[in-house]
Structure 1
Amino acid sequence: MRKYQRHSAEVIKKSHSKSTGSALVTSWRRSALKFELDPAEDYRPERLTEAELSLRRDAIGKFLHLATPQLDQVFKLVGLPGRNVLLSDADGVVVDQRIHTADTRQFQEWDLWPGANWSEAVQGTNGIGTCLVEGRQICIHREEHFRTRNIDMSCMVAPIWGPDGRLLAALDVTSARDDQDEHSNSLILSHVANVARTIEAMNFRACYPDARIIFASKDGSDPAMLLAVDRDDLVIGATLTARRALGLEREGDITHVPAADLLESDADLAEQGFYSAERVVLTRALARAGGNVSAAARLLGIGRTTMYRRMARAGLG
């Protein structure tokens, strides 16, 4: 009991401190001041009904289908008794999980169950909710949680970004094991982050079935740093890491730009399997000129009439 009282007092003290503090204290402060939560309150929000949960699952149905084998893989590797593999949607609502049958009662009592809301606004600082707020992989270990009722668990979570650059989900491993320490937390978090990137890349490819998918990183070190390019060498999609690295729009549709303008040289395009067809050359020039035919002709060093003739031959209206 004293452990919980000390934790509650520490959270309240640091949440109301005027000092800047760490990222963790910033999250505690959001929980206390912005969301007006009480760390000592044993609050258990109602879970979604089966019908409500079904609607949320349907909204990301194709993504869930792709993610399912990866959840199985994570559980196979790290799913010792006392651990729970969870997938939430972008709102922090748990939509899928993997546990051992013997752990069912414990995790149900902790609300680590499909339909439960683990957003920061509801639960305060926690793995899923804080990961989604801050948009980064994170570990919330025991007393780092905001609510005292959650300080016997450790959460290792990584975000999964959609093809539009917006948050789509969070992949979480929560442990209630007594032997869970910082070293095991670090190993699990590294694996969770890698699997999250794999799921992100798989989903991105599935969203652009007719496009050529290329690595935006030259060494291919980040499997989720991808571009989707159409037959005219125009970028029509990019993952979040590719958007950040190449200075593209942070969210939403990509304003069509030639892939050659984003990669280092035309030689790089050749390595990716592109060919210097006249249609590609013309399309690049038009994209660079913002669709202005006269300006595109000047970029190519040809006359406007010639430009139109070559466009017609290439099937460009």
Structure 2
Amino acid sequence: MAVWGQGMNQHVDKVFRSADSSSITTKSGKSEIQISSSWQRCLAKYNLDPSTKNKPRILTGRALREYQEPLEEFLLIARSGMKSLYEKVSSAGYCILLGDANGVTIDFLGDPKDERENRDAGLFLGSVWSESIEGTCGMGTCIEERKAIVIHRDEHFRARHIGLSCSTTPLFLSDGSLLGTLDISLLRPPENKSSQMLALQMVNTSARLIENAYFLRLYKDSWIIRFNSMQAFVEVVTENIVAVDSEGYIIAANESATRELFRGEGNNPENKLISEVFDLSFDDLMNHALNKTTTILPIRAMDAGLQYYATFRAPEMSKIRVMEIKGSVDKALPARQKPGTYLTLEYLAGTDPQMMHNVKCTRRVMNKDISLLLIGETGTGKEVFAQAVHQASERAAKPFVALNCASIPESLIESELFGYKQGAFTGANSKGMRGKVLQADGGTLFLDEIGDMPLNLQTRLLRVLAEKEILPLGSEAPMKVDLHVICATLRNLEELVSNGQFREDLYYRLNGVTITLPPLRERQDRALLIENVIAAEAENSKVRIAEDAFGILLNYSWPGNIRQLRNVLRYCIAVSENGVIGIADLPPDIIRNTTPVQATFMIDCAVVESSPEQLDDPEHAAVYGVLRKHKWNITDASLELGMSRSTLYRKMRKHSIIPPNEME
């Protein structure tokens, strides 16, 4: 608790004397215009008394939630940045306050052992630090000045706060409106204000990271360009960001990007075509975002004429139809897959932790000369995953060629794989044939069931991988090839090597990175997968599934994995009536081999340990049903229900409804 002493009385006298002065001098010995202006506001505009001893106001319960709930999504993102900052400064005794645009502390991190002292000082969740109430202070004066500031010790207006040091920076939306503030404060700071300059720099850095992360979240359904003047930094520092809509117009840019592009001239890139701002067409942007996600592309700003280095991101969960005409790409499609589309790696990963880890590992190596080996049961989607890797890589514009080594007779697999010259053997095509390896030149060769490849052909494949050349049957001169090889198998290659059925050197050549695709029964996002497959198979029809039938599908073991799931749901949709799949529409073997359960008790379903009262609750049923209908998209569900996002979150908490991707 702040103890009133002689120093506080002296501070009060100095504040009142400042009313007759245009500047003040603090213990740091420096004249502070910002501090003086703030003190003048406190005295003349807000009629505050620096000698008042009351503690800062702290909001709790519903009063605090009214400020938090409109910013729930921002709070989730900001929390990560706060934690990272706190890990760096907590050992020095700092606490962190996240404030909204009104000066209300909507999140807080501090040492629990200092809770009582922090609360007494107003460094606590729910504390109100507006300048009109607490006078000159880090959060309140930062809001008034709209710039980063340090309010150190006796620079505070109220005498009870002169023991604090607060380093605060504003947080802005892309349109320049104030979102809030980020503050780190110290209860017992050193006398010298310069000791806080590093703290201010750290809080500034964290604030920009939070702003950028929130920008990317707000524009997750837009095309994103991230650029930097230094090539080495563009992938590791998200500094300048531009969001582009489906027509190629810039709809938002963060403050750093606007400043960089127009060099303080006051212009704004919004509502301009991307080709008016960069020497980049919208088709090029989409092509790189979809097919060359790890490529760093040099681009030039049209106004300044300066060169930057950029990476690109497509809208979240997009499935893109590659157009044959002009080689361009159509705009991102909605959730249903259409003819001629492919699925992105992120879409295939869903919300399953193992699949998300697989995608993360794959993206790190897919543009390097490292082979991928996909391991998984039949029907787990190995070829679909391989094609998604190809489409996400720098080879996307080149061919993707697949060959199933188990489906071709041993006598034909050599010619299929390596090709042959005309007249190479009796019955050969008179013009010869380009094998799969040559067809895949520049692109990706996918060899499914690699464990079934004959030993004599394994030697030839090893040469292709090692020497990057191929010798077709009947040819005398080898031909150079450049391709990425992805192999898949459900067999144990190590065991085949031990038994002499698979070359050890080829095994190690193919096994650059092993990706294990989990069987459907082990995936934690089964509920989401079922709904996605229904949406894809139903095409333009509206089809839903009854709870009891949904529970049976969730509880089934799916030995045929996703392939079996697709076939079953295709059948269910065909035989169902009125657009509702019920138990009667399920294949008999599915019902026979599954114990009927309520979907609400499944691990991947949205309601955990629901009571009978909940199951009969109309509000619960309505909220749960709409969330499932919109695949747990909170924004879309809240629009249909006619309530705000924050109200929908409250309803979900009330009824213990948990999205599948948040299940433990």
Work out whether the TM-score is over 0.5.
yes
Residues in 1 aligned to 2:90 and 2:246: alpha-carbon distance in whole angstroms: 44
1:199 aligned residue: 210
2:645 aligned residue: none
Number of matched pairs: 274
1:65 aligned residue: 76
Q: What amino acid is the match of 1:157?
A: T
Q: Deviations over 1:150-208 (max 9, x none)?
A: 00010011111123321111111110125474343111111110000000000000001
1:167 correspondence with 2:162: no
Residues in 1 aligned to 2:170 and 2:116: alpha-carbon distance in whole angstroms: 27
1:89 correspondence with 2:100: yes
Shift of 1:49: 3.1
Shift of 1:32: 1.2
2:200 aligned residue: 189
Q: Deviations over 1:243-269 (max 9, x none)?
A: 4553345xxxx8511233334788527
1:8 correspondence with 2:12: yes
Q: What amino acid is the match of 1:137?
A: A
2:257 aligned residue: 242
Contact 1:83–1:177 (8 Å) recurs in 2? no
Q: Could you say if the C-alpha distance between residues 63 and 19 of structure 1 is closer, same or farther in structure 2, counting changes exceeding 3 Å?
A: closer
Residues in 1 aligned to 2:309 and 2:18: alpha-carbon distance in whole angstroms: 54
Relative contact order (C-alpha < 8 Å, sep 6+): which is higher?
A: 1
1:261 aligned residue: 276
Q: Deviations over 1:55-107 (max 9, x none)?
A: 21111001110111211111111013642111111111001111111211111
Which of 84, 106, 109 is the equivalent residue of 2:117? 106
Q: Deviations over 1:2-34 (max 9, x none)?
A: 211111111121133256971210111111111
Contact 2:23–2:33 (8 Å) recurs in 1? no
Which of 101, 114, 121 is the equivalent residue of 2:132? 121
2:354 aligned residue: none
What secondary structure is seen at the aligned counterpart in 1 of 2:132?
helix
Residues in 1 aligned to 2:39 and 2:18: alpha-carbon distance in whole angstroms: 8
Residues in 1 aligned to 2:280 and 2:11: alpha-carbon distance in whole angstroms: 56
1:23 aligned residue: 34
Shift of 1:231: 3.9
Residues 207-226 of structure 1 mapped to structure 2, 5 A cutoff: 207-215=218-226, 218-219=229-230, 223-226=238-241
Deviates more, 1:97-106 or 1:81-90: 81-90
Residues in 2 aligned to 1:116 and 1:182: alpha-carbon distance in whole angstroms: 24
Residues in 1 aligned to 2:198 and 2:110: alpha-carbon distance in whole angstroms: 19
1:228 aligned residue: 243
Q: Deviations over 1:115-153 (max 9, x none)?
A: 111011111111011111111111111011111000001
Contact 1:128–1:170 (8 Å) recurs in 2? yes
Deviates more, 1:54-63 or 1:172-181: 172-181
Deviates more, 1:36-45 or 1:201-210: 36-45
Residues in 2 aligned to 1:63 and 1:178: alpha-carbon distance in whole angstroms: 30
Q: Could you say if the C-alpha distance between residues 91 and 224 of structure 1 is closer, same or farther in structure 2, counting changes exceeding 3 Å?
A: farther
1:79 aligned residue: 90
Q: What amino acid is the match of 2:253?
A: A
Q: Could you say if the C-alpha distance between residues 131 and 273 of structure 1 is closer, same or farther in structure 2, counting changes exceeding 3 Å?
A: closer
Deviates more, 1:229-238 or 1:257-266: 257-266
Q: Could you say if the C-alpha distance between residues 45 and 127 of structure 1 is closer, same or farther in structure 2, counting changes exceeding 3 Å?
A: closer
Q: What amino acid is the match of 1:226?
A: I
Residues in 2 aligned to 1:192 and 1:45: alpha-carbon distance in whole angstroms: 23
Contact 1:87–1:170 (8 Å) recurs in 2? yes
Which of 117, 135, 139 is the equivalent residue of 2:150? 139
| Structure 2 portions without partners, runs of 5+ | 25-31, 282-298, 302-307, 313-324, 329-664
Residues in 2 aligned to 1:145 and 1:157: alpha-carbon distance in whole angstroms: 13
Residues in 1 aligned to 2:169 and 2:119: alpha-carbon distance in whole angstroms: 22
Contact 2:274–2:280 (8 Å) recurs in 1? no
1:177 aligned residue: 188
Contact 1:160–1:170 (8 Å) recurs in 2? yes
Residues in 2 aligned to 1:178 and 1:273: alpha-carbon distance in whole angstroms: 42
Shift of 1:233: 2.8
Q: Deviations over 1:276-311 (max 9, x none)?
A: x99x9xxxxxxxxxxxxxxxxxxxxxxxxxxxxxxx
TM normalised by structure 1 equals 0.77
Residues in 2 aligned to 1:18 and 1:187: alpha-carbon distance in whole angstroms: 29
Residues in 1 aligned to 2:54 and 2:239: alpha-carbon distance in whole angstroms: 38
Residues 233-312 of structure 1 mapped to structure 2, 5 A cutoff: 233-244=248-259, 246=262, 247-248=266-267, 256-263=271-278, 267-268=299-300, 272=310
Contact 1:157–1:189 (8 Å) recurs in 2? yes
Contact 2:56–2:121 (8 Å) recurs in 1? no
Q: Could you say if the C-alpha distance between residues 137 and 124 of structure 1 is closer, same or farther in structure 2, counting changes exceeding 3 Å?
A: same
1:314 aligned residue: none
Deviates more, 1:26-35 or 1:174-183: 174-183
Shift of 1:217: 5.4
Q: Could you say if the C-alpha distance between residues 42 and 163 of structure 1 is closer, same or farther in structure 2, counting changes exceeding 3 Å?
A: same
Contact 1:163–1:207 (8 Å) recurs in 2? no
Residues in 2 aligned to 1:236 and 1:134: alpha-carbon distance in whole angstroms: 27
CA RMSD of aligned residues (A): 2.9
Contact 1:81–1:100 (8 Å) recurs in 2? no
TM normalised by structure 2 equals 0.38
What secondary structure is seen at the aligned counterpart in 2 of 1:213?
strand
| Structure 1 portions without partners, runs of 5+ | 281-317
Q: Could you say if the C-alpha distance between residues 29 and 217 of structure 1 is closer, same or farther in structure 2, counting changes exceeding 3 Å?
A: farther
What secondary structure is seen at the aligned counterpart in 2 of 1:63?
helix
What secondary structure is seen at the aligned counterpart in 1 of 2:96?
strand
Q: Could you say if the C-alpha distance between residues 273 and 183 of structure 1 is closer, same or farther in structure 2, counting changes exceeding 3 Å?
A: closer
Which of 65, 80, 97 is the equivalent residue of 1:54? 65
Contact 1:171–1:196 (8 Å) recurs in 2? yes
What secondary structure is seen at the aligned counterpart in 2 of 1:106?
helix
